[in-house]
Amino acid sequence: MNDIKDPKDDNWQAPHEREGFAVKEERAPWGRWIVGFIVLGLVLAGALWLASKVVVPRDLPAQQQVEKKPEEKPAPTIGADDAAWTRALEKDTLAGYREYLDEFPKGKHADKAKAEIAAYDDKAWARAQGRDTIAGYEEYIKEWPEGQHVEKAQDRIKQIKDAAEAARKAAAAKVAAEKAAWERAANTNTVQSYQNYLASHADGPNASEAQNRIDRLQASAADNAAWNAAKAANTAAAYQQYLTSFPQGAYAAQAIVALENLRPTVGKTFRDCNECPEMVSLPAGTANLGAGDTEADARPNEKPQRPVTFANMFAIGVTEVTFAEYGACVSAGGCSALPSDNGWGGGNRPVINVSWEDAQKYASWLSAKTGKSYALPTEAQWEYAARAGDSNPIAGGSLAALCAFANGAGQESGLKWSNSACTDPAVDRTLPAGMLSANKFGVKDMIGNVAEWTQDCNTLNLRDAPTDGSADARGSCNQRVVRGGSWFSGPADLRYAARLMQRRGDSNDFTGFRLIRKTGP
In a domain, 103, yes or no: yes
Could you read off the pLDDT of 355-402 as tens digits, one per residue? 999 999 999 999 999 999 999 999 999 999 999 999 999 999 999 999
End-to-end CA distance of the chain: 169
CA distance 269 to 386: 16
Same domain, 461 and 322: yes
In a domain, 187, yes or no: no
Q: What kind and span of H or E run contains 163?
A: helix 150-188
CA distance 493 to 72: 156
**CB burial readout 307-335, b (16+ within 10 A) else e:** ebebeebbbbbbbbbbbebbbbbbeeebb
Residue 307 in contact with residue 287, Cβ under 8 Å? yes
Could you read off the pLDDT of 168-218 as tens digits, one per residue? 999 899 899 999 999 999 999 999 999 999 999 999 999 999 999 999 899
pLDDT at position 20: 44
The whole-model pTM stands at 0.58
Burial tier of 236 (Cβ tally within 10 Å: 0-12, 13-18, 19+): buried
For residue 386, CA distances in Å to 26, 38, 306 come to 198, 177, 16
Q: The domain containing residue 479 runs over which residues?
A: 269-518
Same domain, 205 and 319: no
Same domain, 282 and 429: yes
How many domains in the chain?
A: 3
pLDDT at position 55: 46
- CATH number for the domain spanning 382: value is 3.90.1580.10
Residue 495 in contact with residue 337, Cβ under 8 Å? no
The alpha carbon of residue 143 and the mean position of all alpha carbons in its chain are separated, in whole angstroms, by 59
> Residue 115 pLDDT > 90, yes or no?
yes
CA distance 36 to 42: 10
Same domain, 386 and 508: yes
In a domain, 240, yes or no: yes
Final residue belonging to a domain, choices 107, 136, 160: 160
Could you read off the pLDDT of 239-279 as tens digits, one per residue? 989 999 999 999 999 998 888 777 778 899 999 999 999 99
Same domain, 308 and 383: yes
> Residue 227 pLDDT > 50, yes or no?
yes
Same domain, 314 and 432: yes
Residue 351 in contact with residue 512, Cβ under 8 Å? yes
